[in-house]
Amino acid sequence: MSDIVLDVQHVSHRYGSKRVLEDVSLQLHRGEMMGLVGPNGSGKSTLLKVILGALPLQEGNVTWFGKPLRKFDEWSRIGYVSQKANSFNTGFPATVFEVVMMGLTAKMGLFRRPGKKEKERVREAIATVGMGGFEGRNIGRLSGGQQQRVFIARALVSDPDVLILDEPTVGVDAQSEAHFYDLLKRLNEENRISIILVSHDLGAISTKMHSISCLNRKLHFHGRAEEFERIRPEILLKSYGYDVHVLHHNH
């Protein structure tokens, strides 16, 4: 069996006449943690939407676990945490337990009531992200970092093989961010979950991820994180148009 989880081949995408992705090819392997970086408006979200089937595939091919996107229907194998996940307002009327349970609804169907097994699974996912004890709390009353962990639990509850996270550390404090990277590492090492992490934090991503894809309409780099580090100025000059100086968290 091939260990390629996701295979993107020659994908291009336009909004009207504006071409925002051009001939993008990349692979994600089982157990790989990949960072997807690129300046604002470089097509990162568009690429995610295309591979998740939220936008039509205009040009090129995408396969998940060896199956072409148009035939792929095992979406519970892919957990997705969107950019806006940690911005629930304080009035949002759902508990941590209910939010995480939503991650199982797709699998169960909307009208089946959750049984003992499903409830246990929800508790387990909440415990995995270190939020045990918060099950009955209102999601809107938690901090950004805590909300983020709850949304990761929601993505984990269907026991996915892949986790895709779109800029999850935006708006969370440094301590939550450190916990977040520890959690990803644990999920990757213990559960063999493959990860795609979209981030603007080039410094963190090149030390925490195994591989890096650097996008700006075209893919300017796709390879090992160590190689990215070695030739970073060159890649950034090509993809960002200038050398980005990395700010460390304590600055």
Ligand X SMILES: Nc1ncnc2c1ncn2[C@@H]1O[C@H](COP(=O)(O)OP(=O)(O)OP(=O)(O)O)[C@@H](O)[C@H]1O
Residues that bind ligand X (CB under 6 A): 15, 20, 38, 40-46
Minimum distance from residue 29 beta carbon to ligand X (Å): 23
Burial class (CB in 10 A: 0-12, 13-18, 19+), 191: middle
Give whichever of 22 and 229 is closer to ligand X, judged by the CB atom: 22
Minimum distance from residue 114 beta carbon to ligand X (Å): 34
Whether residue 42 contacts residue 198, with contact meaning beta carbons closer than 8 Å, is answered with: no
Give whichever of 47 and 104 is closer to ligand X, judged by the CB atom: 47
196 pairs with which residues across the strands?
34, 164
Give whichever of 40 and 175 is closer to ligand X, judged by the CB atom: 40
State how far the Cα of 222 lies from the Cα of 25, in Å rounded to an integer: 9
State how far the Cα of 160 lies from the Cα of 121, in Å rounded to an integer: 13
85 pairs with which residues across the strands?
none
Minimum distance from residue 35 beta carbon to ligand X (Å): 13
> Could you give the residue ranges of the DSSP H alpha helices within 20-64?
44-51
Minimum distance from residue 116 beta carbon to ligand X (Å): 41
Cα angle vertex 171, ends 170, 176, to 5°?
90
Give whichever of 42 and 211 is closer to ligand X, judged by the CB atom: 42
Minimum distance from residue 218 beta carbon to ligand X (Å): 13
Give whichever of 42 and 213 is closer to ligand X, judged by the CB atom: 42
